[in-house]
Amino acid sequence: MTILVVEDEEGIVSFVRRGLEDAGHRVVTASDGVDGLVMALSTDVELIVLDLGLPHLSGEEVLRRLRLRRPSVPVIVLTAKDAVSDRIANLDAGADDYMVKPFSVNELLARVRARLRTGGQDRTDALTAGDITLDLARHIAFVAGATISLSAREFDLLSVFLHHPGQVFSQTRLLDLVWGYDFDGASNVVEVYISQLRRKLGAEHIQTVRGVGYRLSDGAR
Ligand code: CA
């Protein structure tokens, strides 16, 4: 059982590491959001303890991007923020549980045990809408049973639509979700990727809602 701890405060990392290792877990660590996301995408990692205040990429952003690829790996969020609305926002963004600092190691171990018991049961590693299926663990897309080769970005973009089948997404929202807030490339990147997806999936699968954005078409839901 490998647990990833993503936290930039060394004191907390060593405290958490000691507690988890004493309980028999293998622990790997990352001290910023970028390294944390890369390690979190590795399938060896079976549970993630994620701090929200991280350098380079915030914990919220790590969580959002992680969920596109690995919807079922359990994530326990560490937060210094005590506001109820923050907690709810974190859970909405795909955290399974949260702990407010400071916390005791026994409390953390209890949460880890609970998450490992229930982890993955309420989510699946495959998404389906109409004749499109995404195998998130193996990163493969199928349309009507045939394998479609997608780039990592195309895959992430399509998985946003499959996570929310009826929902219309504006270009700005898609940029935030798939490319991240700090993206400063070409402004038509979303349009370009939508047309690539249409070419690969069949144009009828993604509908343009004029003046608003894009969604999966009715036939694909
Ligand atoms: Ca921090």
Question: Are residues 110 and 40 part of one domain?
Answer: yes
pLDDT at 122: 42
CATH code (residue 29): 3.40.50.2300
Q: How far apart are CA 179 and CA 202, in angstroms?
A: 23
- At residue 68, the pLDDT reads 86
Cβ(143)–Cβ(130) under 8 Å? Answer: no
Q: Which of 3, 9, 2, 4 is nearest to 79 (CA)?
A: 9
Alpha-carbon distances, residue 83 vs 57, 59, 70, 149 (angstroms): 21, 16, 27, 43
- In this structure, are 150 and 111 located in the same domain? no
Strands 206-209 and 146-148: unpaired
Distance 29 CA to ligand 1 centre (A): 13
- Span 109-138, pLDDT tens digits: 888 988 887 654 445 578 888 899 988 777
C-alpha of residue 54 to centroid of ligand 1, in Å: 5
Ligand 1 centroid, distance to 142 Cα (angstroms): 39
Indicate the residue among 119, 144, 179 that finishes a domain. 119
Helix (H, G, I), strand (E, B) or coil at 175: helix
Top pLDDT among 182 and 71 is at 71
Which of the two residues, 207 and 81, has the higher pLDDT score? 207
8 C-alpha vs ligand 1 centroid, how far in Å? 5
Split into its structural domains, the chain has a count of 2
C-alpha 81 – ligand 1 centre gap (Å)? 11
CA distance 167 to 157: 13
pLDDT at 42 over 50: yes
For residue 215, the model assigns a pLDDT of: 94
Q: Which DSSP string do the residues of 103-155 spell out, in sequence order?
A: --HHHHHHHHHHHHHHTTTTS-SEEEETTEEEETTTTEEEETTEEE---HHHH
**pLDDT digit string (tens) for 62-84?**
998 898 888 889 999 998 766 55
Quote the ligand 1 centre to 151 CA distance (angstroms).
Answer: 32
Q: Do 125 and 135 meet the contact criterion of CB atoms below 8 Å apart?
A: yes
The terminus-to-terminus CA distance of the chain in angstroms comes to: 37
Tell me, in angstroms, the distance from the centre of ligand 1 to residue 146's CA: 44
Mean pLDDT value across residues 6-25: 92
Cα of 192 to ligand 1 centre, how many Å? Answer: 36
pLDDT at 90 over 70: no
How far is the centre of ligand 1, averaged over its atoms, from the C-alpha of 59 (Å)?
9
| Shared-domain flag, residues 102 and 138 | no
The answer to whether the CB of 74 falls within 8 A of the CB of 121 is: no
Among residues 96, 119, 142, which one ends one of the domains?
A: 119
- The helix/strand/coil state of 80 is coil
* Domain assignment of residue 209, given as a range: 126-220
CA triplet 107, 105, 75: central angle to 5 degrees? 65
Q: Within this chain, do residues 110 and 7 fall inside the same structural domain, yes or no?
A: yes
Q: Are residues 10 and 62 in the same domain?
A: yes
Going from the Cα of 25 to the center of ligand 1, the distance in angstroms, rounded, reads 22
Percent pLDDT > 70 in the chain is 87
Give 53 Cα–ligand 1 centroid separation in angstroms. Answer: 4
Last residue within a domain, chosen from 73, 99, 119: 119
SS3 35: helix
Give the model's pLDDT for residue 87.
63
Asked if residue 111 and residue 152 are part of one domain, the reply reads no
At 84 the pLDDT is 58
Whether 25 and 74 share a structural domain: yes
In the chain, what are the helix, strand and coil shares in percent, each to the nearest 5?
45, 25, 35
